[in-house]
Structure 1
Amino acid sequence: MSWAFVRHQWASFLGTFAALLLGVAVISGSLSLWAAAQPRVPDALAATDVVIAAPAFKSAEGGFPVYRPWSPEELSSLLAKLSATPGVRSAVPVRTFYVQRLVDGQPSGDPGEAVHSGAAWSSAGLGGYTIQNGNPPSRSGEVVVPSSAGVPVGAALPVLIAAGPTTWTVTGVTDGGGFYVDDATASSLAGGVRAIGVLADRGASLQVGELGTVLTGDARSAVEPEQDTRTRWLGAQLIIATVFVGGFVAVFVVSSTCAFAVTSRRRELGLLRAVGATPGQVRRLLLTETLLVALLAGVPGAFLGALAAPLLADPFVAAGLEPVGFTVGLSWWAVLISVLVGVVVAAAGVWLSARRAGRVPPLDALRDAAVEKRPMTRTRWVTGILCVLAGGGLALLLPGSSANDKPTIVLMSAMVLLVAATLLAPVLVVPLVRLVPAGRGATGVLVRGAASVAARRLASIAAPVIAAVGFAVLLVGTFQTASVAVDIEDAARIPASSVAARSSAVPGLSETAVRAQQGTSSLPTVVYLPSGEPISAVGGAAFAVPPELGLQVGSTVPLRFADGVVVSLAVSSISSASVELPRDLVRLHDPNALTPVVQLSAPFVASPGAVSMTARAYVEREADEENDLVDLFLAVLLGISVGYTALAVANTVLMATYARRQEFVTLHRTGATPGQTVRVVIVESLLAVVLGVALGLAVAVPALFEARAGLQEEIGAPVTLVMPWPWLLLVAGGCALLAAFASFMPFLRSGLLSGGARTMAG
């Protein structure tokens, strides 16, 4: 019976099929991306048998483990111990540093990769790289380049390092990536060592004690560059959010589709009950129908997502969500899991509707009235009222909350109220319909009359529009308004009218570029407390610390610098900013550090990688780089939500239109023309979309004003409210177009436009 219903009433299952197809495709593609985005062994260590990682600090709050560098004494002791271990052929410290090739005086290549593209030639064997032409570097000023660089042996190679521009002579070409210099030069440019690559015989037993961790096999991925790990983490957050949002919205669409389908099939289900079907049989019938649709949609959806995932590898790299070299392959476990998830989502979506369907009385088969007896169930009433009370309660907390907490409270309150509006839509739309003038024509009278007696149908169309419009306006508007506030606050912290900033082609300014300018700057670095905890610091003046470190003026603190050297310093002052250290001391112990910006006190001097701009432009550029990621997250998540919303609207309209066939035939027989009937259905659907937009805005817009007020209080300056008109027009316009098209489709198929009323009735 289930298969027969799916075959002969396929229009009733289109929404469920499309929702599950897209949902499973999203989950399958996301899982394939997630599988490919796991940390991997760096190419430069691919040929190692074992990697020794430096001691790691793991914060109690979580986050990435931070490997503190060995001191020179610890490194020498460890290398001696490893070299003396039976079976160890070589133990090589991994030293990497920043270097970029200069082409016509300008830095080239990816700035993120350039941070660790320089290395010592002794570590080339750890990646399995060999000389293809020429000789290894033997002294300062010599370099081995990758064959992809296209530079011949003996050529001069202009490069940019943290100290500034310099020129090296190419002595060899290798089959690996990166630039290799002699060990002494690498040691002076790279600073500290956090990993040792070991080439050893199988069975060699390595013991390093508290000086590090022995890593073998896939565990060697733990020492991939920190920047790559953070980049992968960003991509993973988007993937995880996509899976959860896609799964949640799919459940929402499937449940709303099934609920409306059960309402439309009450007479049919009542007939089944009248001929002897038990409530359990009715529940199993609906559940089996949906599971059949889930399998029919899930299998092609899973393969569609898995095959589309590799196409997203390059966009993920371009967006800064994955490191260079990221690739995606076909993952069979992702296909299987996504199909199973689709089945679970389908079962979860139909469960409540199936239980309700089992209670349909047999007498419903004899009823022919189109008037809804009870548009709201008791559960929906209770849940909706609870959401109103919760959202209102959160709003009451605003007057006594701090400026920092107000935007969060406003956002949470508005989201809960949006859920309440979608739940209470059946009781909200009818009063709003009565406010709409019917006009003088028959279309307006019919639309108003039909909408007044079919609140559930109208609310089923309006509810997803409420959620989509409200969430889109609220989230995008809040983030964009907050971005304006952050720009204002950051610009106020930079007193200089113009700055020398890094260009987009480099990760930071070299020391030569900084010294060419007249102005003030800070040199960021990381130092380690005696506990091993890493703290960010800037090279500026004397040793100053923030009060939260609990240190006193005059107290001596042993700090481990980026090169592993421990220096004891006396605290000169307690400040409210970050840790400050003498700039020359930072440069001495962190030769790879780069300066982000110089506040100019004299005209700008051109230098490789440096650009001149106003302080305001610099703040906006830095904020834009972060906002681009936020915008990408919002676009993906809202795109999925809005896409499902449009699908829910179109499917509900389509099902409702098919269910009203007898009503349309009656209109036709009483004198209505086919054009008038079509106009009634389209106008009613558009009215539902307009009501959904109005209710969504009624919740979101006041929340935006409250969020702006909190931001203004927080920064103490006026903030312009950003209304996301493009998103509003996209959501509202897309839902309206799909609703109109879905209203029109059944008439094309039935032939009513050509006068075939009997066909539609049949």
Structure 2
Amino acid sequence: MRATLRWAHADFRAHRGEALFVVLASAGIIASLLLAGALFSYAANPWQRIFNQSQGAHIWLHTRAGADTADLSGLDGVAALSGPYRTGATTVELQGARAAVALRAAETRPPEVGRPLVTSGSWLAPPDGGGAAGTVVLESSVARALWAEPGDTVRVTGQDGAVSRLRVTGVAEAAEPRYQAGGGPGIGWVLPDTLDTLAPDDTGQSVGLRLKDAGDTDFMVQRAVTLLGADRVAQVTKWQQARAEAGGDDRLLGQLFAVFGLGALLAAALAASGTIGARVRGQLRDIAVLKAVGFTPGQVVRGFLVQHLAFALLGVALGTAAIAFLGERIPGRIGDAAALWQDLPGHAALMTGVPGGAILLIAAATGLAAWRAGRVPPVPVARAAQPSAAPMTALGRRALGMRLPPALVLGWRSAFPRRGRTAVAVGRLALPLVLITVALVAWSTLDQFRSRPAEMGIPAALTVRAQQPGGSTEDELLRTVAGIPEVAAVHPGAEMAALVPGQTGTITLRGLGTAQQPYPVAVAEGRAARGADEAVAGQGLLDLLGVRVGDWVRMTVEGRPQILHIVGRSIEPESGGRIISTTLDALKNRDPQLRPEFHALVLTEGSDPRTVRTALDEAAGGTLEIRETPNPADRLEPARGVIAALIAVLALIGLTELLTLIGVGVRDRGRDLLALKAIGLTPRQIGSVIVIGAGLTALVAAVAGTTLGALSGVWLVDTQGSSSGMGAGIAHLPPWPVLLAVVGGAVAGAVAAASLPATRTARRRLADSLSETL
């Protein structure tokens, strides 16, 4: 064992550069994977991030006015209270959009527990700050429904019918159930004096309980309700409910990032094993000498295992420590993700699992390489007797006879020596490019929701509610909309809940457009509905009922049957795709008294929905309820930063793989390059052979990787869209210039990476290269 350690130490001193490369490569890959894990957790689980960052309450009790909540802090298992806050039920309106909001009386300093996280604007100002009374901070889902931003002025109607105006000072996020039209009220925060003006008689109060153990939620709810009295508790919301409501937005991101993470881990594994294997193969001559002086195969194997496991442990420890101690200091979203990651679920598992898995993988790769080293014969000349490259083919000789540049022909021969080695080299280098292209497909799909929403199931940018009490009639609404030049088409519509066959669940039945002016549904399969009994359905509805395009579906609507023929599958971003759409005329056949509940507005290309909404609200005198059609891109916006970081991680892994391949190629072809120099090739030609070989290998790998990545990305995004109920057909390939830029970047990176070893090899003298023959 002592001889083995002495040899390992001597080998380290003789190859310090290679050892440093192995350690830094391992550290860089581990740090990149950990940062990718932090970003995945940050973006794919926003509710948990908000909950931890805001010290959210596990239980919110909404009680009647006068309930004494002080004793709740004394319950065993309660860590802290948020509140109590006096509340008042109001209706908030901004330019035609309305939302039910429960206003909470808050102080000028946000609370420590259940703290709203201000994402834009500022918190409530003190009385001497110029904005004490008449200000409000809206929860983000309420602000989105109202299209409200800091600086806007909203109209607030109390229960007594009095109307007041409040200026929005900020928009905040809270780890509580989000506002949904037709559901429970949203949340807004005002100063106590403002609440006294809007709601002189308090309608209730809210108090949040942060527990020591989140698993005791149900038991603590029972104890809290018993303590306060069941007659005084109006509503209870638990953290599981809020997380479940937000989980639908996170599932697609979580699944997509899980695939990316596994792919990145596989690419990193191959890069690390390739680096170690290349270093072992580069020392075959030294191994033969060791065996010639008496080392046994077992000693050789142990020597490589000890040496490379030490390198792996050092590199993994450096990468892990760098992220643990310095990750939060990285500027931008990456640093924020690393700082918050420590409090998110799965942090400990990833911080131990990724380094542990990497060490096991490196140990397996080192063990295989060491086993091969143990089988090296103790005759150094045997290696020299083996050909280091494939013989010149007839095509190569013909190319030289046609006076093609020798560097080009020899570079081609260097890039593709043998089928097996060529396939392995191209495959290892193509894997990171496959994942990069898949990430670009996901990015391009997100852009498609923004740039071409009609093709993604969102043809109408706005919906206008007619028949509002005291508002415009349908004829007046149509005349008002006709005066807005940016409105390209107006489609009447109605939505209602329908019972599925067997009455075991409900779906959404929607009538949009008429037979004369059909609604432009985004049909991914089949055709649009034209007849009086035809309809298109979302993927979620097809999966729920177990039907396909071409089947007939019977449902119950308001106690009466409705039978429709599904002639197409539409892309439905909302309601999990459990929507069946037909024309409004088809619904009128069942109910002749049916009238449009709303009108969907299709805008001209390039029109700004916010500008059109403002113009329409002014033309109607504020009597219309105008809403923006939700766009999934709003929920998936955090994915952009993660995809960009993932591309950077994969680029680093690809660069590591590329440097390994170039180093192996230069070392293995040392005798060939020596022979080429001996027969008269200039140093520039020698360097060109190495650069051209690396560039051609990268070109083939890039073309194969981008092609396979484009196909895989389309399949992956469509599969995820189908599983979420939205449906397949949403994937969109990146523009051709982007794909060509990926190929060009890979080739340029290979040429740049090969330039230094090519220059060093071309400058070597024949006397310095004689050792290559041994």
Contact 1:433 1:452 in 2 (8 A): no
- Offset, 1:490: 4.6
- Offset, 1:648: 0.6
Q: Quick one: distance in 1 between partners of 2:615 and 2:398?
A: 59
SS at match of 2:155: strand
- Tell me the residue number matched to 1:51: 59
Relative distance call for 1:305 and 1:242 in structure 2 (3 A) is: farther
- Tell me the residue number matched to 1:273: 291
- Tell me the residue number matched to 1:650: 659
- Offset, 1:728: 3.4
Query: Are residues 1:681 and 2:683 paired?
Result: no
Match among 15, 33, 39 for residue 27 of structure 1: 33
Contact 1:15 1:648 in 2 (8 A): no
Query: Are residues 1:744 and 2:745 paired?
Result: no
Query: Are residues 1:369 and 2:353 paired?
Result: no
Match among 679, 686, 700 for residue 691 of structure 1: 700
- Look up the equivalent residue of 2:286 and give its one-letter code: E
- Offset, 1:166: 0.6
Relative distance call for 1:730 and 1:671 in structure 2 (3 A) is: same
Q: Quick one: distance in 2 between partners of 1:673 and 1:123?
A: 80
Query: Are residues 1:360 and 2:376 paired?
Result: yes
1:392-411 matched pairs, under 5 angstroms:
none
CA deviations 1:548-596 (Å, max 9, x no partner) are 58998778xxxxxxxxxxxxx646646676399xxxxxxxxxxxxxx99
CA deviations 1:474-523 (Å, max 9, x no partner) are 67459858987999895597787xx5369xxxxx9998999776566779
- How many residues align structurally? 608
- Tell me the residue number matched to 1:119: 103
- Look up the equivalent residue of 1:357 and give its one-letter code: A
Q: Quick one: distance in 1 between partners of 2:72 and 2:446?
A: 58
Q: Quick one: distance in 2 between partners of 1:293 and 1:346?
A: 10
Q: Quick one: distance in 1 between partners of 2:223 and 2:732?
A: 58
1:39-78 matched pairs, under 5 angstroms:
39=48, 51=59
Q: Quick one: distance in 2 between partners of 1:97 and 1:432?
A: 84
- Offset, 1:262: 3.6
Higher mean C-alpha deviation, range 728-737 or range 119-128:
119-128
Contact 1:24 1:301 in 2 (8 A): yes
Contact 1:509 1:597 in 2 (8 A): yes
Higher mean C-alpha deviation, range 339-348 or range 165-174:
165-174
> TM-score, structure 1 length as denominator?
0.57
Q: Quick one: distance in 2 between partners of 1:326 and 1:513?
A: 50
Relative distance call for 1:703 and 1:128 in structure 2 (3 A) is: closer
- Tell me the residue number matched to 2:360: 344
- Tell me the residue number matched to 1:500: 462
- Offset, 1:473: 4.8
How high is the sequence identity, in percent, across the aligned residues? 16
Relative distance call for 1:605 and 1:709 in structure 2 (3 A) is: closer
- Offset, 1:708: 13
Match among 409, 422, 431 for residue 467 of structure 1: 431
Relative distance call for 1:32 and 1:344 in structure 2 (3 A) is: same
Q: Quick one: distance in 1 between partners of 2:698 and 2:242?
A: 51
Contact 1:250 1:345 in 2 (8 A): no
- Offset, 1:251: 0.9
SS at match of 2:384: coil
Query: Are residues 1:8 and 2:26 paired?
Result: no
Relative distance call for 1:709 and 1:633 in structure 2 (3 A) is: closer
SS at match of 1:39: helix
SS at match of 2:23: helix
- Offset, 1:25: 0.6
Query: Are residues 1:179 and 2:179 paired?
Result: no
SS at match of 1:261: helix
Q: Quick one: distance in 2 between partners of 1:688 and 1:230?
A: 43
Higher mean C-alpha deviation, range 622-631 or range 676-685:
622-631
- Offset, 1:341: 4.3
- Tell me the residue number matched to 2:270: 252
- Look up the equivalent residue of 1:121 and give its one-letter code: A
Higher mean C-alpha deviation, range 331-340 or range 681-690:
331-340
Q: Quick one: distance in 2 between partners of 1:251 and 1:451?
A: 23
Contact 2:412 2:692 in 1 (8 A): no
Relative distance call for 1:540 and 1:14 in structure 2 (3 A) is: same
- Offset, 1:368: 0.6
- Look up the equivalent residue of 2:104 and give its one-letter code: A
- Tell me the residue number matched to 2:222: 208
Q: Quick one: distance in 2 between partners of 1:116 and 1:368?
A: 83
Contact 1:259 1:350 in 2 (8 A): yes
SS at match of 1:25: helix
Higher mean C-alpha deviation, range 17-26 or range 89-98:
89-98
Contact 1:483 1:627 in 2 (8 A): no
Relative distance call for 1:316 and 1:127 in structure 2 (3 A) is: same
Contact 2:445 2:733 in 1 (8 A): yes
**Where does structure 2 lack aligned partners over 5 or more consecutive residues?**
1-6, 76-80, 115-122, 147-152, 157-163, 174-187, 229-236, 482-489, 514-534, 547-552, 567-577, 582-596, 617-626, 720-725
Q: Quick one: distance in 2 between partners of 1:514 and 1:312?
A: 54
1:693-712 matched pairs, under 5 angstroms:
693-696=702-705
SS at match of 2:385: coil
CA RMSD of aligned residues (A): 7.0
Q: Quick one: distance in 1 between partners of 2:168 and 2:448?
A: 51
- Offset, 1:18: 4.0
Contact 2:439 2:713 in 1 (8 A): no
CA deviations 1:401-424 (Å, max 9, x no partner) are xxxxxxxxxxxxxxxxxxxxxxxx
Relative distance call for 1:265 and 1:189 in structure 2 (3 A) is: farther
Q: Quick one: distance in 2 between partners of 1:92 and 1:120?
A: 9
- Tell me the residue number matched to 1:578: 579
1:716-731 matched pairs, under 5 angstroms:
722=733, 724-731=735-742
- Offset, 1:85: 9.0
- Tell me the residue number matched to 2:279: 261
> TM-score, structure 2 length as denominator?
0.57
1:410-559 matched pairs, under 5 angstroms:
439-447=403-411, 450=414, 453=417, 458-459=422-423, 461-473=425-437, 476=440, 480=444, 490-491=454-455, 499-500=461-462
